[in-house]
Amino acid sequence: EVQLVETGGGLIQPGGSLELSCAASGFTVINNYMNWVRQAPGKGLEWVSLTYAGGTTYYADSVKGRFTISRDNSKNTLYLQMKRLRDEDTAVYYCARATMVPQNGRGFDVWGQGTTVTVSS
Amino acid sequence: SYELTQPPSVSVSPGQTASITCSGDKLGDKYACWYQQKPGQSPVMVIYEDTKRPPGIPERFSGSNSGSTATLTISGTQTMDEADYYCQAWDSSTALYVFGTGTKVSVL
């Protein structure tokens, strides 16, 4: 079964760091275009970051310089390292798979269940 | 930055047709995707590449994209279709994915 399972969320103080993990099963992250998407409480979806073969990465302006996306191919797991967290980073964080380059319009066909990050003092 | 604008809400009677628009500069030159999200659940893709349905998505969901507007149409809307819907596109000029503002569909 194709599945994504996120872990690592929690309560963190402003300015702190946190790392999210997304374990994939039923497919390999190395052969796909892996994304993080977040949703603040009561708000819409916000794309956060993308990584694909060769280590290519992209980031939303709101997280650039603070968040780092990476993969461990041996563990078939996607990560999001988050630093200098702000109140506005509070959200449910989803990992999601795309199977082709973004320009091809395939979209995100598999989503995890999400993990909640709360930034608060 | 690139923006995609959707109406905040759409109301439809059961069995009728719901149309949800997504507007963005030259959106027709890009591919649009659509996602359905029910309360407390993860999003589910219902349309990709403007018009295509993933496996398992009912035929009553259809999409189009031309000019500056992409449209998701739900024909014969059912109560189970009540959800938030988001459009999405890739902006090559900024190398960013963009989601629309979201539309709450109510089936009354």
pLDDT digits (tens, 9 = 90+) for A22-71: 999 999 999 999 999 999 999 999 999 999 988 899 999 999 999 999 99
pLDDT, residue B47, reads: 98
Within an 8 Å CB–CB cutoff, is residue A105 touching chain B?
Answer: yes
Min CA distance, A51 vs chain B (Å)? Answer: 12
Identify the closest residue of chain B to A45 by CA–CA distance. Answer: B99
pLDDT, residue A63, reads: 98
For the segment A89-103, the average pLDDT, to the nearest whole number, is 94
Within an 8 Å CB–CB cutoff, is residue B49 touching chain A?
Answer: yes
Task: Identify all chain B residues contacting A58, using CB atoms and an 8 Å cutoff.
Answer: 95-96
Min CA distance, A113 vs chain B (Å)? Answer: 6
Q: A105 or B108, which is more confident?
A: B108
The token pair at B46 is: 């219902």
Residue with tokens 């968040």: A67
Question: Cβ A45–B96 below 8 Å, yes or no?
Answer: no
Q: Residue-wise pLDDT tens for chain B (108 aa)?
A: 999 999 999 999 999 999 999 999 999 999 999 999 999 999 999 999 999 999 999 999 999 999 999 999 999 999 999 999 999 999 999 999 999 999 999 999
Task: State the Rg of chain A over Cα.
Answer: 14
pLDDT, residue A53, reads: 81
Question: Cβ B31–A113 below 8 Å, yes or no?
Answer: no
The closest alpha carbon to A82, from A102, A96, A62, belongs to A62
Average pLDDT, chain A: 96
pLDDT, residue A101, reads: 86
Task: Pick from B2, B4, B9, B42 the residue to mutate for testing the A interface (most A CBs within 10 Å).
Answer: B42
Residue with tokens 């819907």: B85
pLDDT, residue A103, reads: 84
Around Cβ A5, how many Cβ atoms within 10 Å?
A: 14
Q: Residue A22 is which amino acid?
A: C
Contact (Cβ atoms closer than 8 angstroms) between residue A37 and residue A17: no
Cα gap A99→A106, rounded to integer Å: 7
Contact (Cβ atoms closer than 8 angstroms) between residue B12 and residue B106: yes
pLDDT band (50, 70, 90) for residue A13: very high
pLDDT band (50, 70, 90) for residue A105: confident
pLDDT, residue A100, reads: 86
pLDDT, residue B99, reads: 98
Within an 8 Å CB–CB cutoff, is residue A81 touching chain B?
Answer: no
